[in-house]
Amino acid sequence: MSSIDIEISEVGPRDGLQSIDPIMPTEAKKRWITALAAAGIPEIEVGSFVPAKVLPQLADTAELVVHARQIEGLSVAVLVPNLRGAMNALAVLPHKITVPLSVSETHSLKNLKRTHAQVLEELRAIRAAIDELPTTERPKLEGSLSTAFGCTLEGEVPLDKVLEMAEKLAAAGCDEVGLSDTTGFASPVQVREYTRQIHQLLGREMLSGIHLHNTRGQGLANVMAALDAGLTTVDASMGGIGGCPFAPGASGNIVTEDLVFLLESMGLKTGVNFERLMAARKVLAQALPQVELYGFTPEAGLPKGFRPATAQSGG
């Protein structure tokens, strides 16, 4: 297996599918996840452990974790809003559990129906539950700082508040924190500065990933800033599907296909094969013909004579 410079974490099966009305059949999701992994995507967030009545689109998350865990080399991630969800997740042992905490408490109350103190309380309980597992089975616990760059309800979110919450997530037992531009407000200057400050505060190993939106077309510009700041994992969604359905006016993840092209064109290995990625896109398109898939590179194709970094390393 070739080495990877930048890890793309595909969030389409979670962030994408939770944002659209039609429910993708479980067997189609499995085919899609298999195709994504076959294209070389190293990590997939396969779903979220929320009550089926809240998000019926993701009711089969446990079955998808079991399926995805059988794929050699794939890191299987899930989102979990609370302890109850975490217990359901731990029953099927994903490799990574992400718990969101909205830095904007207004958004936290609206989205998770919890204050910061309540989220941190749940996190400590989740940490304890994880620690009861044998060492080799413990998933990595990530606390995700959502609305870190601004909130559709509160507007500006102060950097100090982001740092305070990052510190509290670490103190509550998170193995890692993540930055999330839930609302599509982030500027490259913010991405660089916030990353630098969290690295100073908690150490570089505590923040490696970022979740960026393309709400105002600035998604890949922010990726440039993230690379500058030394981040090595970037979330993206095939066809750009998804966003945050609870933040009014916010929509649009970074398109996986365009991110792969950008990184590979810069000589950064993603481990992803573009043709096989297009095959995975076809699986998605066939399963959800009524959903619009975005992306420039799928339309334009690769440039004539294009040599992706991954291919050059023999990956």
Considering beta carbons, is residue 78 or 238 the nearer one to a second copy?
238
3-state helix, strand, coil in the chain (%, to 5): 45, 15, 40
Per-residue binding letters, 102-141, with a second copy (x by CB under 8 A)? ----------------------------------------
Establish if 303 lies at the interface with a second copy (CB under 8 A).
yes
Name the active-site residue from 39, 120, 244, 277: 244
Q: How far apart are CA 21 and CA 10, in angstroms?
A: 20
The conformation of residue 14, written as its DSSP 8-state character, comes to I
Q: How many CB atoms lie within 10 A of CB 301?
A: 11
Work out which of 73, 134, 289, 305 binds a second copy, going by CB under 8 A. 305
Q: Quickly list H helices, the chain.
A: 26-38, 61-69, 83-90, 105-111, 116-131, 159-171, 188-202, 219-228, 256-265, 274-287, 297-300, 309-312
Handedness of CA 177, 115, 118, 95 (dihedral sign): negative
Residue 101, H or E segment? strand 96-102
Q: What are the residues facing 145 on neighbouring strands?
A: 101, 179
Considering beta carbons, is residue 46 or 191 the nearer one to a second copy?
191
- Least Cβ distance, residue 146 to a second copy (angstroms): 15
Per-residue binding letters, 212-231, with a second copy (x by CB under 8 A)? --xxxxx-xx-xxx------
Per-residue binding letters, 248-277, with a second copy (x by CB under 8 A)? -xxxx--x--x--xx--xxx----------
Considering beta carbons, is residue 111 or 215 the nearer one to a second copy?
215
Considering beta carbons, is residue 48 or 214 the nearer one to a second copy?
214
- Least Cβ distance, residue 156 to a second copy (angstroms): 5
Q: What are the residues facing 46 on neighbouring strands?
A: none
- Least Cβ distance, residue 295 to a second copy (angstroms): 7
Work out which of 184, 209, 242, 308 binds a second copy, going by CB under 8 A. 184
Cα distances (Å, whole numbers) of residue 270 to 14, 41, 267: 21, 8, 9
Considering beta carbons, is residue 143 or 252 the nearer one to a second copy?
252
Active site residue 244: yes
Q: How far apart are CA 241 and CA 162, in angstroms?
A: 27
Catalytic residues: 244
Would you tell me which residues interact with a second copy (CB under 8 A)?
150-156, 183-185, 187-189, 214-218, 220-221, 223-225, 249-252, 255, 258, 261-262, 265-267, 295-297, 300-301, 303-306
